[in-house]
Amino acid sequence: MSELTRILVIDDDEPGRQVMELLLKKAGFAPVSAENGAQGIALVRDGQADLVLVDLFLPDKNGIEILQEIRQIAPELEVVVITGHASAESAVQAMKLGAFDYITKPVNFEELKIVIAKAREKQRLLSENVYLRKQLQERFQFSSIIGASSAMQRVFERMQRIAKTDSTVLVFGESGTGKELVAKALHHNGRRKGHAFVAVNCGAIPETLLESELFGHAKGAFTGAVRDKIGKFEAANHGTIFLDERDKIGKFEAANHGTIFLDEIGTMPLHLQSKLLRVLQEQEVERVGSTKPIKLDVRVISATNADLEEQVRQGSFREDLFYRLNVIPLQLPPLRDRREDLLPLVSHFLDKFCHLMGRPLMTLSKPALDALERYRWPGNVRELENVVERLVALTEQDAIGPNDLPVEITEASGRPKGICLDLSPEGIDMPTAIEELERKMITKALQMSGGVKARAAGLLGLNRTTLVEKMKRLGVT
Ligand SMILES: Nc1ncnc2c1ncn2[C@@H]1O[C@H](COP(=O)(O)OP(=O)(O)OP(=O)(O)O)[C@@H](O)[C@H]1O
Ligand SMILES: [Mg+2]
């Protein structure tokens, strides 16, 4: 491709076209010419033009039609229309249809050059814009994480910033909200991605073994320690570590430069908490039964579904460790607070399980979706994923109706939502009713206090922070 700007001139007037070509060439452009509309369109289709000059009156098609066709074939191409004095109306129409500008005959070449320069500048800015947007999308490659809601979009934005750093992250979120998924995505989008991601499920490992799991042990450190063993921290050296509860231990290979994921960090016994704190501060571990420190470069991501701050207040979690782990908090919202994600998640899981089970893509009927939307999803995305898997495995027809849904979902979602002090025979959905009650009381208190939160909190016997948290959780504005 030529470096010069290729300007396609579509004009049936041969002498006029030749003059134009000459002038364009002299001005440093690469003219390409077509004597009718069809020829011009073919050249555009062929990618032979960077900009188009088209006469409004041509034998086969008029310039307006050509303009419309070019807009379709190559929307990024700018078109300048050349018109006689008499056709001002068409010129206006051409502008409306997206022509970049129009020039009246006889053409003032200096004027034309300015128009061309402006059109090229616009194209340059646009392509830069497209490029920037593409780059942004690439950076947002948390593609395995579905989230259309604004709450999840905020999470993605935050993740994008966090992934590039080495900062310690604490992921908060109810069970099944995607804490581990997010921890992995942070690892895989950061500079440690080529190294290990080592997950440790602090709640699933017996207390007596956790220390040696994390930090390793020296041969002879205790009965059964027949050889040296490296711990999860060493395994994650130069990477990230994520502390969790559900993962099996031992399935991760020892690898350098990784991430350690400490899941269910809240279950870690106090004496280990102080050891962990020391490891984080010193960036080195000592294997159990050894006094030789081993230098580490490990990123730590931990997760909890417990209220760690409350645990700090109660003394079961060290405050200094909490602050050390909570350098960057990342809060995952429960599914019931982001209903917009429901349909995209259902589609995602239908796609996944239909594919896995080798059946044609199933669809969800509107009433079935409504029922899913009414349900409270205490188990969050994990629960939804399991429900969809069951539907794909058990539903015979390809369209899922409300009757195919598990009874706990249809029952709970059919129940009255309002406050119900009198338990009716069909029962209530208690968690929803309690939330509704809280919402009403907060709204009332805010009304009574003229929107002053501190005063509303006083009326409710709450401190201001608790009120603000509740408002956020319940979506009270
Ligand atoms: N936004 C999401 N998009 C797609 N899949 C998701 C999303 N969130 C969670 N999942 C899926 O839901 C399941 C549960 O996610 P994950 O294990 O990360 O949750 P968790 O918060 O660690 O749960 P727990 O507290 O129970 O350990 C996984 O299979 C995960 O892939
Ligand atoms: Mg988990």
| Range in 86-90, 326-330, 414-418 with the lowest mean pLDDT | 414-418
pTM: 0.60
CA atoms of 196 and 429, how far apart (whole Å): 44
Most informative mutation of 169, 174, 180 for ligand 1 (most atoms within 8 A of CB): 180
In whole angstroms, give the CA distance from residue 232 to residue 254: 8
Alpha-carbon distance 258 to 126, whole Å? 40
**Distance (Å, whole) CA 290 – CA 221:** 8
Q: Are the CB atoms for 406 and 386 separated by under 8 Å?
A: no
Q: Residue written as tokens 């599914």?
A: 335
Would you state the structure tokens that stand for residue 422, as one six-digit string?
Answer: 């009198």
Query: What integer pLDDT is reported at residue 303 of this predicted model?
Result: 96
Q: Residue ranges of the alpha helices (H) in 216-301?
A: 232-235, 270-282
Q: Whose CA is nearest to atom 29 of ligand 1?
A: 382
The b/e string for 173-203 (b: 16+ C-beta within 10 A; e otherwise) is bbbbbbbbbbbbbbbbbbebeebbbbbbbbb
Are the C-beta atoms of 8 and 24 separated by less than 8 Å?
Answer: no
The answer to whether the CB of 185 falls within 8 A of the CB of 160 is: no
At 132, the pLDDT band (50, 70, 90 cuts) reads low
pLDDT at position 253: 27
Q: Name the pairing type of β-strands 328-331 and 101-104.
A: unpaired
Q: Does ligand 1 lie within 6 Å of residue 179's CB atom? A: yes
- The values of phi and psi at residue 330, to 5°, are -135, 115
The band of 1, judged by pLDDT with boundaries at 50, 70 and 90, is very low
Whether residue 238 is predicted with pLDDT greater than 50 in this model: the reply is yes
Query: For the range 120-126, what are the long-range contacts, defined as Cβ-Cβ under 8 Å and sequence gap of 24 or more?
Result: 120/5, 120/50, 120/51, 120/78, 122/78, 123/50, 123/51, 123/76, 123/78, 126/76
Question: How many Å apart are CA 234 and CA 286, to the nearest integer?
Answer: 10
In tens, the pLDDT along 403-459 reads: 999 988 888 765 555 555 666 667 777 888 888 889 989 998 998 888 889 889 888
pLDDT above 90: residue 284: no
Q: From 177, 330, 387, give the residue whose CB has the most ligand 1 atoms within 8 Å, as the site to mutate.
A: 177
| Helix/strand/coil for 101 | strand
| Residue 90 in contact with ligand 1 by CB distance below 6 A | no
Q: Compute the distance between CA of residue 339 and CA of residue 359 in angstroms, rounded to an integer.
A: 27
Q: Average of pLDDT values for 40-45?
A: 92
Q: Look at residue 141 in the predicted model and tell me its pLDDT.
A: 52
- More confident site: 290 or 138: 290
pLDDT at 323 (0 to 100): 95
Contact 77, 52 (CB under 8 A): yes
Q: pLDDT value at position 248?
A: 25
Q: Give the number of the ligand closest to the Cα of residue 345.
A: 1
For residue 152, how far is its CA from the centre of ligand 1 (angstroms)? 13
Measured CA to CA, the distance from residue 183 to residue 262 in angstroms comes to: 10
Query: Predicted confidence band at 302 (pLDDT cuts at 50, 70, 90)?
Result: very high
Residue that wins the pLDDT comparison between 67 and 421: 67
Confidence category of residue 138, pLDDT binned at 50, 70, 90: very low
Contact 335, 342 (CB under 8 A): yes
pLDDT at residue number 202: 86
Q: Is-contact 43 71, C-beta < 8 A?
A: no
Flag whether pLDDT at 157 surpasses 60: yes
Question: What spacing in Å lies between the alpha carbon of 246 and ligand 2's midpoint?
Answer: 6
- Give the whole-number percent of the chain exceeding pLDDT 90: 34
Amino acid in the structure at residue 196: A
Ligand 1 touching residue 173 (CB < 6 A): yes
CA 430 – ligand 2 centroid, Å = 26
**pLDDT (average), residues 308-313:** 92
